[in-house]
Amino acid sequence: MKLSRRWSVFLLLVALWNWVIWPRFALAIWNDERSWDGSAPTSFLYVHAVLIIGSLVLASTIGWLGVKGLRRR
């Protein structure tokens, strides 16, 4: 499959957007009172951590595809 330059740039922008947004969301979840039961993490924190990590893995993969598409041109 060949990606056009426009699609490659789009994929890079999507990856960048995700890498800007999700760490900020992670900080908000970390500081949320529902994330901690005393000093122990709750399932609220674990579920959101899995979602955040999964999203960042997908963002990295999308960014890698964008870079790969730009290098082929």
pTM: 0.88
Residue-level pLDDT at 2: 84
Residue-level pLDDT at 51: 98
Residue-level pLDDT at 22: 98
Q: How far is CA 21 from the centre of its chain?
A: 7
Among the listed residues 39, 44, 40, the one whose alpha carbon sits nearest the alpha carbon of residue 29: 44
pLDDT tens for the chain, 73 residues long, are 788 999 999 999 999 999 999 999 999 999 999 999 999 999 999 999 999 999 999 999 999 999 999 998 6
Tell me the C-alpha distance between 25 and 22, whole Å.
5
Report CA torsion sign: 52, 58, 62, 63: positive
Among the listed residues 23, 3, 49, the one whose alpha carbon sits nearest the alpha carbon of residue 63: 3
